[in-house]
Structure 1
Amino acid sequence: MKLTHHEQTPHPEHPFAEYIRILGKGKKGSRPLTQDEAYQAMKMILAEEVQPIQLGAFLMLMRVKEETPEELAGFAQAARESFDLVGPAATVDLDWSSYAGKRRHLPWFLLSALLLAENGIKVFMHGAEGHTAGRIYTQDVLKFLGIQHAHSMAEAAQQIEQNHFSYLSLEHFCPKLHEIIELRPILGLRSPVHTLVRLLNPFNADYSIQGIFHPGYRPVHQQAAALLNQPHMAVLKGEGGETERNPDMDCLVQSVHEGQLSDENWPALFTHRHVKPELLDPRQLALIWRGKIDDEFAEAAIIGTAAIALKLLGKAETQQQAHELAAAYWTGRDKQKYAGS
């Protein structure tokens, strides 16, 4: 005998539906995920155990309410477990995230990272490119410095050992998160993954530095790093959202050192504001490094960003010492490097 529509056995609830319900059960019924719930939810997403409609609903519910430190920490835990760490791991001194892209100024922070690398500090930079129109992304400008980006974690490890620097795109170590970032033009909004990726630290470096655009996210990153037991981390509102100090403005750096949270203001390096350039020409990165052109804003951004990293790394005790050391690195750099293409 055939069952009528009302007598048919209902479909069992999808396991991921629970996490959508927690976030979306109205103003009074909804709540944030716990760190463990966030971990379990992200594990399912990365394992492709979630339907596309569920993923979209989850991402946008998270976006509307905004991520808590506990949620970010749970997401990051799950993501770190998914990395394909084949071959020998590199010893990285400083993990540097680069996901925002630049729109108003060139990515001067890239020269800050290379300056540290030239002075024996092993820097691993990771990012994603192309997800927002009209921005310049780190991977795209490396060729103007004659630098080849890595295509795998193993190649990144090799580059770090040889050159103390490597850049690797997210698509090569966590393709599912890269796929989600690429949804931005479809969803019309950034998702929690744009925040999460800055915390990934694939080589588990003791020191990590992150830039954000919206100041409200700064303490969220700081607290999430503490929950992840990140020994040392600094987060700042960077120029364009990248990890770059804007020398025209005061810069609040929020840090974690062995579980202790601290805030420190780095004052502006100029009393006046610089006019943004009309055209961004990535070839200027090599020209500035090689001393072929002068640009006080660029040099202050490079030295100022390197100074924050040096203080984070414990290479200097005070802001002044860190700035003097960064300036000495810049003066003594090998100007024959980075001829570009």
Structure 2
Amino acid sequence: MRTLPQLIGDVARGKEHARDLPEDEAQALFGAWLADDLDAYSQGALWTAYRIKGESMEELLGFVSASEHAMHRVNGPAGPLPIILPSYNGARREANLLPLLALVLARAGVPVLLHGSHGGAAEDADLALTDHSPAKRVSSAALLTALGLPAAGSPQAIHDDLRQRNLAHAPIDVLSPGLARILALRRRLGVRSSVHTVVKLINPFGGPAMHCAAVTHPPYLERLKAFFGRTRRRALCLRGTEGEPFAHPKRRPALLGCEDGVCTTLMEKDGQPLLRLPDLPADGGVTATCRFIEEVLNGTLALPDPLFDQAACLLVLSGRSPDLDAAGAVLAAILPAQRPHASSRKSLPPSPGALP
């Protein structure tokens, strides 16, 4: 690998003149960063340079590969592909319903690994940054903890939780101390960087898994499709709710499935006017959101239609159900208050890993 000043010199020349690194150099550079082999000045320079330049696809592939080599790997249970839900944004304007999606999928018989930052609304209340401020956001970690599902404190606890309840809530600090240390630069430097994309794409499992990846801005869906096309990983891509990978409960985004290097639209964006407003939490706080989650799971309220559709797609892509109709039947069986609804669906072929 070339010297560190040479690499920084390439990527830190500004948006017009910066040069992209080849995949092998990007992997080596990020591997050194994860190992804490870069001095503080170099880390700050790289963080800021990539915020300005953005990462190329070759660099992103190298960063993800280095991250996966350096992290604790999880062994998934036998059966459907485990589903990975990255949660690093939290929600401020809307209720964060990602824990609800995770709990529904786990109840349907699919192992779910939700990983992310462990901080909640109170921890970041005083961190008012101008670049996607985390202040006053309600994290998935805060909600799951309030629901009696505390974060796994060790790699072994992640294994145990997956086997005992089909759901593990894993802080990035446990999965990858190196990534956690790099992410902590956000608090010191005030801006996001390429590592916020990397954590959406890592596979902590030792074998194949099913990614659920979301973007805030629709043009970035092309970046996700390109990544999953190159890596041939199975994934569901969508425009998330405040950056979290769940469908907006009032309007379903386009749901894109990626498998064997090909990405197709499973369900088009919902363009029809709402016939009725879905039941939603009274506010986005922890108490109201937890109450809503419990009412959906116990059958008092229905799961909002867009999340129902997203869950059905995930059941098919994970191999839990052979098609969307079968997936809908599974969800209706475990959610007593669910009502049938019309949705624009493609007829998916049976998933190769589908269970009977």
TMscore range, shorter length: 0.7 to 0.9
CA spacing shift, 1:67–1:133, aligned 2, 3 Å: same
Q: Which runs of 5+ in 2 are unaligned?
A: 125-133, 339-356
Q: Separation in 2 of the partners of 1:191 and 1:316?
A: 37
Q: Is the 8 A contact 2:82 2:210 kept in 1?
A: yes
Amino acid at match of 2:154: S
State the partner residue of 1:282: 289
Q: How does 1:1-341 map to 2 (within 5 A)?
A: 15-26=3-14, 29-85=17-73, 89-91=75-77, 93-130=82-119, 132-203=134-205, 204-230=207-233, 232-268=234-270, 271-272=273-274, 277-280=282-285, 281-284=288-291, 285-292=293-300, 294=301, 299-315=304-320, 322-331=327-336
Q: Separation in 1 of the partners of 2:23 and 2:98?
A: 32
Task: Please give the secondary structure, in 2, of the residue aligned with 1:184.
Answer: helix
CA spacing shift, 1:262–1:113, aligned 2, 3 Å: same
How far residue 53 of structure 1 moved from its aligned partner, in angstroms, is: 1.4
CA spacing shift, 1:318–1:16, aligned 2, 3 Å: same
Q: Separation in 2 of the partners of 1:332 and 1:157?
A: 32
Amino acid at match of 1:228: T
Amino acid at match of 2:86: S
Task: Please give the secondary structure, in 2, of the residue aligned with 1:186.
Answer: helix
Amino acid at match of 2:298: R
TM-score normalised by length of structure 2: 0.79
Q: Is the 8 A contact 2:20 2:56 kept in 1?
A: yes
TM-score normalised by length of structure 1: 0.82
Q: Separation in 2 of the partners of 1:269 and 1:106?
A: 22
Q: Is the 8 A contact 1:235 1:253 kept in 2?
A: yes
Task: Please give the secondary structure, in 2, of the residue aligned with 1:197.
Answer: helix
Amino acid at match of 1:290: N
Question: CA offsets per residue over residues 117-168 of structure 1, 9 Å max, x none?
Answer: 1222111111113362111111111133222321122210111111111110
Q: Is the 8 A contact 2:283 2:289 kept in 1?
A: no
Amino acid at match of 1:46: L
Q: Cα RMSD over matched residues?
A: 2.7
CA spacing shift, 1:254–1:73, aligned 2, 3 Å: farther
Q: Is the 8 A contact 2:299 2:337 kept in 1?
A: no
CA spacing shift, 1:108–1:278, aligned 2, 3 Å: closer
Q: Is the 8 A contact 1:248 1:269 kept in 2?
A: no
Q: Is the 8 A contact 2:83 2:113 kept in 1?
A: yes
State the partner residue of 1:337: none
Question: CA offsets per residue over residues 276-323 of structure 1, 9 Å max, x none?
Answer: 85452233222332245x4x6x53354233123123224556656544
Amino acid at match of 1:69: M
State the partner residue of 2:344: none
Amino acid at match of 1:288: V
CA spacing shift, 1:109–1:172, aligned 2, 3 Å: same
CA spacing shift, 1:134–1:255, aligned 2, 3 Å: same
State the partner residue of 1:336: none
How far residue 238 of structure 1 moved from its aligned partner, in angstroms, is: 1.0
Q: Separation in 1 of the partners of 2:261 and 2:235?
A: 10
Q: Separation in 2 of the partners of 1:142 and 1:77?
A: 29
How far residue 205 of structure 1 moved from its aligned partner, in angstroms, is: 3.5
Task: Please give the secondary structure, in 2, of the residue aligned with 1:224.
Answer: helix
Q: Is the 8 A contact 1:109 1:301 kept in 2?
A: no
Question: CA offsets per residue over residues 184-233 of structure 1, 9 Å max, x none?
Answer: 23322111111101111101443111122122322212222333342x11
Q: Is the 8 A contact 1:73 1:225 kept in 2?
A: no
- Name the larger-Rg structure: 1
Q: Is the 8 A contact 1:211 1:241 kept in 2?
A: yes
Q: Separation in 1 of the partners of 2:191 and 2:335?
A: 39
Question: CA offsets per residue over residues 20-48 of structure 1, 9 Å max, x none?
Answer: 11112356642222221211110110121
